[in-house]
Amino acid sequence: MSQQRSAVINLYKTLLHLGRDWPQGYDLFRKRLHKVFIKNSEETDPKKIQTMIKHGEYVVKEIEALYMLKKYRTMKRRYYDEK
């Protein structure tokens, strides 16, 4: 149980850190993230919690991929003049 708790806390911290660069702003990202975590805070089924952790890790990877794509497009625009 404590392992899942620490995994959830680490996931929350990771998502908060990634939210700093969110296009619509950090405050909106933080509010939505907090709302989702509070909504699921009463869950006690370990299998369901593990499923939600896996989904959260997937979301982290998706956000990282989104940021990498944004950086790639910026670099491409910067160095390859589109004519």
Residue spans per domain, the chain: 2-79
Across 6-19, average pLDDT = 94
Is residue 81 pLDDT above 80, yes or no?
Answer: no
The C-alpha atoms of residue 80 and residue 83 are separated, in whole angstroms, by 9
pLDDT digits (tens, 9 = 90+) for 20-41: 988 899 999 999 999 999 999 9
The C-alpha atoms of residue 74 and residue 27 are separated, in whole angstroms, by 24
> What pTM, to 2 d.p., does this model score?
0.81
CA-CA distances (angstroms) from residue 43 to 10, 20, 27, 51, 56? 17, 28, 26, 12, 15
